[in-house]
């Protein structure tokens, strides 16, 4: 039998760091990553046969549970007709229509292959449409690994040495010129814009520095300030889109952006991204307009099949169930872990749940950095030994889904109490 340690050693010989996305290497929490062999519903099994109750759910790409029969059947049927054509398909049209119907601000939609592609192209479009060059983002918001947005990012980027500050690259290989016109502001504070700003890009619910909700008036203030100077407002809904509400965060908070970026849920677990907005803006994309974007695998027939199947499962009852499950999880974890003597905060926005070790829930990136990441790492491993998988980093969040029924949540909460008691007992 191949062990996780053996497979990790093999991986490190042929893959940088042994992983294809940095946070998976467990550098933030220490130890050896588990290698998943299969998954079903709320559970994953590693190559050693160990079962975990999974709160990672592919970082939010899975919402109905792993290997949902309807999604699997859609992919299987689509694969039988070919995996890629380099030509338009009907399902691309159907998925774009599904997005536009759910999100009224998206009069037109373009499919891409990742959230990073969606955000980087939205920025290009905003600059092309406005004729301006400056971009405003917020500290702790992660918008993928495009050069212009790798400054003061959350998620795994925050653990890199030499992380970016305003106008400073957050990664080696990103020249200073790439972020020279990226202005970084504190989250939950409405900045004063000037007439050189092309767009403001924001996670309407920050989910890459742990979970940080927008304060009342923040998103509304961004809309007003963008309107004042003629800048575009871009919502990065790669995480929140079709999860916090049928129409995403913009429906939940009642703020209409000019452009929106999506991923994760709309691919049903396959590689996908999309961005959309007003027709007059979207029509400035090639082949109609001067802003170029292309992708051989954009609108991939397997991804569109999986995405349509996943969206078809998300009705009014599904969103009510997601909210109830997340509430049960957030309240249960806070009570169990705090009751064992380890102080935590478990903020919740709709079906999204955060887990901070500390007395106060942060409202910005600086607050998130003051939480106890070392204690999070201890709690992470104590839970992992008890068969509960969280994301291996304190800046990630929990993704309960439709497969996390009450019995699963209660089992997680019970094990969390035991894990927290172990952490406290070692201190």
Rounded distance, CA 405 to CA 122, Å? 37
In this structure, are residues 310 and 401 in contact, taking their beta carbons and an 8 Å threshold? no
| Whether residue 236 lies in the annotated active site | yes
DSSP helix, strand, coil percent of the chain (3-state; round to 5): 40, 15, 45
DSSP per residue over 306-357, as a string?
HHHHHHHT--HHHHHHHHHHHHHHHHHHHHHHHHTT--EE--EETTEE--EE
Spot the catalytic one: 108, 134, 137, 264: 264
Spot the catalytic one: 142, 319, 376, 395: 142
Helix locations, 180-232, DSSP H = 218-229
DSSP per residue over 236-287, as a string?
E-TTTTTTSSTTHHHHHHT---SEEEEEGGGGTTSS-EEEEE-HHHHTTBTT
Q: 46, 56, 117: which is closest to 398 by C-alpha?
A: 56
| Whether residue 108 lies in the annotated active site | no
In this structure, are residues 346 and 333 in contact, taking their beta carbons and an 8 Å threshold? yes
Burial of 175 (0-12, 13-18, 19+ CB in 10 A): exposed
Among left, alpha and beta (phi > 0; psi -120 to 50; other), residue 61 is alpha
| Whether residue 142 lies in the annotated active site | yes
φ, ψ (nearest 5 deg) of residue 271: -65, 120
Q: 193, 179, 178, 192: which is closest to 130 by C-alpha?
A: 193
Rounded distance, CA 34 to CA 322, Å? 27
Spot the catalytic one: 46, 54, 236, 364: 236
In this structure, are residues 143 and 130 in contact, taking their beta carbons and an 8 Å threshold? no
φ, ψ (nearest 5 deg) of residue 411: -65, -40
Rounded distance, CA 289 to CA 159, Å? 39
Rounded distance, CA 305 to CA 295, Å? 18
CA-derived radius of gyration, the chain: 21
The catalytic residue positions are 142, 236, 264
């Amino acid at each position: 039998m191949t062990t996780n340690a053996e497979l990790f050693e093999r991986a490190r010989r042929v893959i940088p760091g042994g992983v294809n996305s940095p946070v998976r290497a467990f550098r933030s929490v220490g130890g050896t990553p588990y290698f998943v062999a299969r998954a079903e519903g709320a559970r994953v099994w590693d190559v050693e046969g160990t079962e975990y109750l999974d709160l990672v759910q592919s970082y939010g790409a899975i919402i109905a549970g792993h290997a949902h029969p309807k999604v699997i059947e859609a992919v299987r049927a689509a694969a039988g007709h070919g995996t890629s054509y380099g030509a338009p398909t009907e399902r691309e049209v159907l998925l774009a229509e599904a997005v536009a119907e759910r999100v009224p601000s998206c009069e037109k939609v373009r499919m891409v292959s990742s959230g990073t592609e969606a955000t980087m192209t939205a920025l290009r479009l905003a600059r092309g449409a406005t004729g301006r060059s400056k971009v405003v983002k917020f500290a702790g918001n992660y918008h993928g690994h495009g050069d212009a947005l790798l400054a003061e990012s959350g998620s795994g980027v925050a653990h890199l040495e030499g992380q970016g500050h305003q106008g400073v690259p957050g990664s080696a290989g990103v020249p200073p010129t790439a972020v020279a016109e990226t202005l970084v502001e504190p989250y939950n504070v409405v900045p004063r814009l000037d007439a050189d700003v092309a767009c403001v890009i924001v996670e309407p619910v920050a989910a890459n520095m742990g979970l940080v909700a927008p304060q009342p008036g923040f998103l509304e203030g961004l809309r007003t300030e963008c309107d004042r100077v003629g800048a575009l407002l871009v919502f990065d809904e790669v995480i929140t889109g079709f999860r916090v509400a049928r129409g995403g965060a913009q429906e939940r908070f009642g703020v209409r952006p000019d452009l929106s970026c999506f991923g994760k849920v709309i691919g049903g677990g396959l590689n996908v991204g999309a961005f959309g907005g007003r027709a007059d803006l979207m029509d400035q994309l090639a082949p109609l307009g001067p802003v170029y974007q292309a992708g051989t695998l954009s609108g991939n027939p397997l991804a569109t099949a999986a995405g349509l199947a996943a969206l078809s499962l998300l009705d009014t009852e599904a969103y009510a169930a997601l909210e109830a499950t997340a509430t049960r999880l957030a309240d249960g974890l806070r009570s169990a872990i705090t009751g064992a003597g380890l102080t935590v905060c478990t903020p919740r926005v709709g079906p999204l749940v955060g887990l901070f070790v500390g007395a106060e829930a942060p409202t910005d990136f600086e607050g998130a950095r003051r939480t106890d990441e070392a204690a999070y790492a201890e709690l992470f491993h104590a839970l992992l030994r008890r068969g509960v998988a969280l994301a291996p980093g304190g800046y990630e969040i929990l993704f309960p889904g439709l497969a996390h029924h009450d019995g699963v949540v209660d089992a997680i909460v019970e094990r969390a109490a035991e894990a927290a008691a172990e952490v406290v007992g070692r201190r």
